[in-house]
Amino acid sequence: EIIDDYLFTVRKLLQEVIEEKHIAAMSSTENEEGKLEPSTADSHTLHVSKLSKVLTEIDTILAIDDFYAKRNRLYSYLENDLSTDYEQFKNSQYANDDLAEMLAKLQRKGVDLFVTFIFSNFEFLEHLHDTWRKLLPWPTNAHETPLQYDASSQRLFDVHRLYVEFKRDWENSERYNAYQGVVQALYADTRNGSANMHIFELLNNASANVGTVTLNMIKAKCDEL
């Protein structure tokens, strides 16, 4: 829902710019009729075509129902295509005014928080910890003897346990700090050793963006919108 909400916001802003360009192009055509040099209307048309390309991609992403497929399509566009589209758009005659206006509107709507949410990978943490839960099961009840793990497995279990405790109260900064602390230590200890694993780097990067401050800011912005 957050992805769709912001894509709808961006789409609306792009559509407003396109409609303004259509009106400007019609006006320019009427004013420049009979002139041989390239008209302002042609420039407007070229500018609109570049904006429409981005609009088409947004519509494609919005039409995807599956969350992971939607997210992957968005990530792929941001990583592989957006820079090219942006360069083409930036070189258009009217880009500076349009960009300044659009970015100002997006900032008022919390686009910085949206980007933080997209790249913080909440779902990555959920998937990873769910996998650990299956590999490192908890005792079935409070009276059962704690399961015995080797040192490495016990460390992963402790990381997972602190994540579960944090999830029970997202706004508890002490729980988040405890979880983030063991994640950072795990990453630091494996970063340069023979047991270096990229999964711990991904975990460290993702967990750094799910803190209580970020979550509360996102929640407040969503409530405001």
Separation of first and last alpha carbons in the chain? 12
Question: Could you say which of 87, 109, 131 is where a domain stops?
Answer: 109
Residues 90 and 53 reside in one and the same domain: yes
Residues 6 and 43 reside in one and the same domain: yes
Q: Report the distance separating Cα 207 and Cα 122, nearest Å.
A: 8
Question: Could you say which of 59, 76, 109 is where a domain stops?
Answer: 109
pLDDT tens across the length of the chain (225 residues): 767 877 887 788 778 777 776 666 566 555 555 553 455 555 566 666 777 888 888 899 999 988 768 877 887 877 677 666 666 666 666 566 666 666 666 666 666 666 656 555 677 788 888 888 888 877 666 555 667 788 888 889 899 999 989 888 877 889 999 999 999 999 888 887 655 567 888 788 888 877 666 666 666 666 665
58 part of a folded domain: yes
Which pLDDT does position 36 carry in this prediction? Answer: 39
Domain containing 40: what range? 2-109
Residues 128 and 215 reside in one and the same domain: yes
For 48-72, give one letter per residue: b (16+ CB within 10 A) or e. Answer: bebbeebbebbeebeebeeeeebbe
Which pLDDT does position 59 carry in this prediction? Answer: 93
Q: Report the distance separating Cα 163 and Cα 158, nearest Å.
A: 9
What single letter denotes the amino acid at residue 45? T
114 part of a folded domain: no
Residues 28 and 90 reside in one and the same domain: yes
Residues 8 and 74 reside in one and the same domain: yes
Residues 126 and 193 reside in one and the same domain: yes
Residues 11 and 105 reside in one and the same domain: yes
Three-state DSSP at 138 gives coil
Which pLDDT does position 37 carry in this prediction? Answer: 46
Residues 83 and 132 reside in one and the same domain: no
